[in-house]
Amino acid sequence: MNPLRSVGARLGLALAVVVAAALVLVDLIVVPSLERNLVNSKLSQLREAAPSIGSQLLNSSSFALDDNIQAASDSADARVVYFTVLTWSPPKLTVYADSSPVTSADVENDPLVLRAFADFPHLVSGTVTSGGQRYAEVADPLFGGPVVLLRAPLRDSLQTIHLVRRRLVVAGLIALAASLLVGQLAASMFARRLRRLERAADRIAGGDFGASVEDPGKDEVGQLAAAFERMRQRLAQLENARREFIANASHELRTPLFSLGGFLELMADEDLDPATQAEFMATMREQVARLTKLATDLLDLSRLDAGRLTVRREHVDLSALAEVLADEFRAVALSSGHELELENGIETAALGDEERALQIGRILVENALIHTPAGTPVRIRTARQNGSALLTVEDEGPGIPAEHAGQVFERFYRVEGSVASGSGLGLAIARELAELMGGSVDLHTVPGRTVFALALPAEAISREKGRVAEPSLQ
């Protein structure tokens, strides 16, 4: 593997680059400005001292000149040269006094003195290099012709700068090494935690949802681990639900198939009288109908799960729908000994899918007829309430015990002791379909009275025109 692909190497390298860049910046900006400051402060010291030294020397008698220039040199901490200009061009001068005389030539050729000639009679200051050394210099032309030159070596100041620079380089190198080390350590800690997460992700991808994903940190990696753990729990739940669904579905399919197989064998093996044959055929038809219903329900559920079941958003008049339901179930109700009543309210226009709303209505009415004893009434009602259009199916059967009421909407859930032999899918499909249409199916049940209510978003009513408005597209 390319060594630069590891987080540790990259982090260490990035830190090293930052430290190196900081060092270069300090060397290019901070050190020169420090140097400038030191030189400028030396020059301003000399500029301040020059006029008073000049006037002192101007007023000195020739006997006291050497003593005075020495005293001035000590107080200004600089070499003091007092001279006069003989000719301007070429520059020629006579030195009256020099606190540390070397030769007059080094003063004559001093670039600052040459500038003093050019700028006469103004004070000039700057740095000069002489004999490999840098000096701060001030040349002050005095009234009447003589010039006082102050020259202070910058060696000490520059040495300080060099010392600072050397220390900075050493400190920088230490910081560089430390940053590489810290970067490597921090990254290897992160990398270890990330590798643990990677292993957990591989485990989950392989279908092993058993071990939880843990990370003690509260930082981003810790948050990522917590997100992984939530994902693992959800996937484990879905996997359980899937397994349960397959087990339930195969069980539900096996029962009628088993029964059909048995009848087929009986009919093939035995000589049956026509009456028994007809009875067997009727039972087989029932089983086939049950299988067909089960297959349709399972298909609906799988489409709902895959998000492939689309519903329309159209005008549905629940009152008209209730009439269709009543007509459809009148004969069944009669045969099961139930009295089917219809009470239609007003303004029951809803937005939804007519075919799916009818499917929900059928599930609810069928339940009311199947799960209640003969002789009890079943009422279909429609109404408008709190912005919803309602279709309720009410019966006077035994009701659903409170401990089961919350679960009857789960797939394959049947209340124990139910007389009828359904698959427990009807209410699950009804609720999921209603929610897909932006509505709901709710249950209110007490012994002797059970109400299932389908609520769909009510269609807006145009009061001026006194009719139901077109559904808004927004």
Ligand X SMILES: Nc1ncnc2c1ncn2[C@@H]1O[C@H](COP(=O)(O)OP(=O)(O)OP(=O)(O)O)[C@@H](O)[C@H]1O
Total residues at interface with ligand X (CB under 6 A): 21
Strands (E), 131-189: 133-141, 147-153
Residue 432 phi, psi dihedral angles, 5° rounding:
-65, -40
Partners of 389 in the beta sheet?
A: 384, 456
**Which residue has the CB atom at the shortest distance from ligand X?**
422
Q: Which does 55 bind (CB under 5 to 8 A by kind): Mg ion, ligand X, none?
A: none
> Which CB sits closer to ligand X, 54 or 422?
422
Q: How many residues does this entry show for the chain?
A: 474
Q: Is 79 near ligand X (CB under 6 A)? A: no
- Identify what 414 binds: ligand X, Mg ion, none; CB under 5 to 8 Å per kind: ligand X
Q: Measured from the CB atom, is 110 or 395 closer to ligand X?
A: 395
Nearer to Mg ion, 98 or 297 (CB): 297
The site partner of 361 among Mg ion, ligand X, none (C-beta below 5 to 8 Å per kind) is none
Instruction: Please choose which of ligand X, Mg ion, none residue 125 contacts, taking the beta carbon within 5 to 8 angstroms, the exact cut-off set by kind.
Output: none
Region from 90-98, 121-129, 169-177, 395-403 binding ligand X, contact rule CB under 6 A? 395-403
Stretch that binds ligand X, among 23-31, 115-123, 189-197, 410-418 (CB under 6 A): 410-418
Residue of 365, 380, 368, 364 lying closest to 428 (CA atoms): 364
Distance of CA 161 to the CA centre of its chain: 49
Cβ closest to ligand X, residue 86 vs residue 420: 420
Residue number with CB closer to ligand X (58 or 446): 446
Q: Residue 416 Cβ, how far from ligand X at the closest point, in Å?
A: 8
Interface mask toward ligand X for 316-355; x: CB under 6 A: ----------------------------------------
Positions in the binding site for Mg ion (CB under 5 A): 367, 422, 426
Per the CB < 8 A criterion, the answer to whether 94 and 83 are in contact is yes
Shortest spacing between CB 361 and Mg ion, in angstroms: 12
- Tokens coding 153: 């070596």
Stretch that binds ligand X, among 143-151, 217-225, 318-326, 415-423 (CB under 6 A): 415-423
Which CB atom, from 263 or from 413, has the smaller least distance to ligand X? 413
Interatomic CA distance for residues 471 and 468, integer angstroms? 9
Cis peptide before 447 (omega within 30 of 0): no
Give whichever of 11 and 455 is closer to ligand X, judged by the CB atom.
455
Return the half-sphere exposure (C-beta side, CA atoms, 13 A cut-off) of residue 379. Answer: 14
Q: Order of strands across the sheet with 339-343?
A: 339-343, 377-385, 388-395, 449-457, 440-446
Q: Which is nearer to Mg ion, 398 or 422 (CB)?
A: 422
Least gap, CB of 437 to ligand X (angstroms): 18
Options 197-205, 217-225, 352-360, 409-417: segment touching ligand X (CB under 6 A):
409-417
Under the criterion CB under 6 A, does residue 298 sit at the interface with ligand X?
no
How many angstroms from the chain centroid is the CA of residue 163? 49
- Helix/strand/coil (H/E/C) assignment for every residue in 447-460: CCEEEEEEEEEECC
Q: Name the residue among 460, 212, 265 with its Cα closest to residue 350.
A: 460
Among 15, 357, 408, 433, binds ligand X (CB under 6 A): 408
* Residue 361 makes contact with ligand X by CB under 6 A: no
9, 415, 468, 469: which one binds ligand X (CB under 6 A)? 415
Residue 213 within binding range of ligand X, rule CB under 6 A: no
424 binds, among Mg ion, ligand X, none (CB under 5 to 8 A by kind): ligand X
Nearest-angstrom CA–CA distance, 151 and 78? 5
Contact status: 400 vs ligand X (CB under 6 A)? yes
Count how many Cα atoms sit within 13 Å of the Cα of residue 212 in the half-sphere of its side chain. Answer: 8
Residue 414 found at the interface with ligand X (CB under 6 A): yes
Return the number of the residue (141 or 426) whose C-beta is nearest ligand X.
426
Q: Which residue has the tokens 């008209």?
A: 320
Nearer to ligand X, 38 or 415 (CB): 415
Q: Which helix (H) or strand (E) segment is 388 a member of?
A: strand 388-395
- Given a contact cutoff of 8 angstroms between Cβ atoms, the answer to whether 58 and 64 are in contact is no
- Residue 90's alpha-carbon distances to 114, 308, 349, in angstroms, are 10, 103, 114
Residue 287 within binding range of ligand X, rule CB under 6 A: no
String marking each residue 416-455 x if it binds ligand X according to CB under 6 A:
--x---xxxxxxx---------------------x-----
Give one word for 207, left, alpha or beta, with left for phi > 0 and alpha for psi -120 to 50: left
Cis omega (within 30 of 0) for bond into 90: yes
CB of 453: closest distance to ligand X in angstroms? 12
- Contact status: 371 vs ligand X (CB under 6 A): yes
End-to-end CA distance of the chain: 54
Residue 229: CB partners within 8 Å, gap ≥ 6? 212, 213, 214
Q: Cα–Cα distance between 281 and 250 in angstroms, integer?
A: 24
- In angstroms, the Cα distances linking 195 to 188, 200, 202, 230, 427 are 10, 9, 10, 19, 46
Residues that bind ligand X (CB under 6 A): 363, 367-368, 371-372, 395, 397, 400, 408, 413-415, 418, 422-428, 450
